[in-house]
């Protein structure tokens, strides 16, 4: 059965314990937890600094039956100190996580690749795979650019993560996936969106962070994208949407899970 994950961005201000409860209520097999703020000032429930939090999260995962798919979101910027990220990686491993979501946000390509290689080296003995996601308003902003970075680094535990919104907003189509090695794509993030793309960077950021749509409720060709990717890879729902905002966390999870399974049943994934 395809693993379905409830991404932390669905309800970014929730404590991971609430997120896990929501995932369980929605019938998700997995969840993703934000352990690192992408940029200074971005939303973060800082459980790494909360006494006993990682142990409580580990117990909640065990009791609920929900597993940790990934942690997020490491943005490799000019000032990133890769060694400082080790506690987040160790927490991910302790919690049974499989993947670490990373974004390239450094115009200096050589420094970005050096930092990415160093991060892969830190993650490798912990059994974690680094997944590079491209974002249209960051320096690594396209499928081709992300693939080139992955190939240049050449680490065995480095893959390429497609976020459906960023994929389509970059101008890519499902046909663009075909030339790449399928083993690059260990999981995928999906959502839906409006056919008309935002025009400014600020509008694109707002859409990505709070104005996506649930799968099947917009106009993006998400089904075609899933058909182009390897079968049975985990699917992470990353669709922060006004439709759910303000509801009880568990109700958000329940509705999100129901909508996602209905959408996937139409293409016989679940």
* DSSP, residue by residue, 113-179: HHHHHHHHHHHGGGT-EEEEEP-TTSSS-SHHHHHHHHHHH--TTEEEEEEHHHHHHTT--GGGGTT
pTM exceeds cut of 0.75 = yes
Residue 46 lies in a domain: yes
Which pLDDT tens digits describe the chain residue by residue (270 residues)?
899 999 999 999 999 999 999 999 999 999 999 999 998 889 999 999 999 999 999 999 999 999 999 999 999 999 999 999 999 999 999 999 999 999 999 999 999 999 999 999 999 999 999 999 999 999 999 999 999 999 999 999 999 999 999 999 999 999 999 999 999 999 999 999 999 999 899 999 999 999 999 999 999 999 999 999 999 999 999 999 999 999 999 999 999 999 999 999 988 776
- DSSP assignment, residue 77? -
Residues 6+ apart with CB under 8 A from 169: 136, 193, 197, 198, 204
User: Domains in the chain: how many in total?
Assistant: 1
Residue 133 lies in a domain: yes
Residue 189 belongs to domain with CATH number:
3.20.20.150
Residue 115 lies in a domain: yes
Q: Which domain holds residue 126?
A: 4-265
Residue 270 lies in a domain: no
Residue 150 lies in a domain: yes
- Environment class of 16 (CB within 10 Å of its CB; exposed 0-12, middle 13-18, buried 19+): buried
């Amino acid at each position: 059965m395809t693993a379905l994950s409830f991404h932390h961005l669905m309800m970014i201000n929730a404590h991971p314990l609430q997120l896990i409860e929501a995932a369980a209520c929605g019938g998700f097999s997995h969840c993703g937890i934000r352990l690192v703020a992408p940029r200074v000032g971005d939303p973060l429930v800082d459980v790494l600094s909360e006494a006993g939090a990682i142990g409580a999260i580990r117990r909640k995962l065990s009791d609920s039956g929900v597993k940790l798919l990934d942690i997020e979101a490491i943005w490799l910027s000019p000032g990133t100190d890769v060694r400082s990220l080790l506690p987040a990686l160790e927490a991910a491993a302790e919690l049974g996580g499989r993947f670490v979501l990373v974004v390239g946000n450094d115009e200096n390509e050589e420094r970005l690749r050096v930092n990415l290689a160093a991060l892969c080296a830190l993650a490798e003995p912990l059994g974690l795979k680094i997944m590079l996601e491209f974002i249209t308003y960051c320096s690594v902003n396209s499928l081709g650019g992300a693939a080139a970075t992955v190939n240049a680094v050449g680490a065995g535990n480095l893959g390429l993560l497609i976020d459906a919104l960023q994929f389509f907003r970059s101008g890519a189509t499902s046909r663009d996936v075909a030339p790449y090695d399928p083993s690059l794509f260990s999981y995928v993030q999906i959502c839906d969106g409006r056919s008309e793309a935002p025009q400014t960077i600020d509008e694109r950021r707002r859409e990505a962070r709070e104005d996506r749509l649930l799968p099947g409720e917009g106009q993006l060709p998400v089904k075609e994208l899933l058909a182009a990717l390897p079968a049975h890879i985990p699917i992470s729902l990353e669709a922060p949407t006004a439709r759910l905002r303000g509801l009880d966390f568990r109700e958000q999870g329940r509705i999100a899970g129901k909508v996602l399974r209905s959408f996937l049943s139409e293409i016989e994934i679940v």
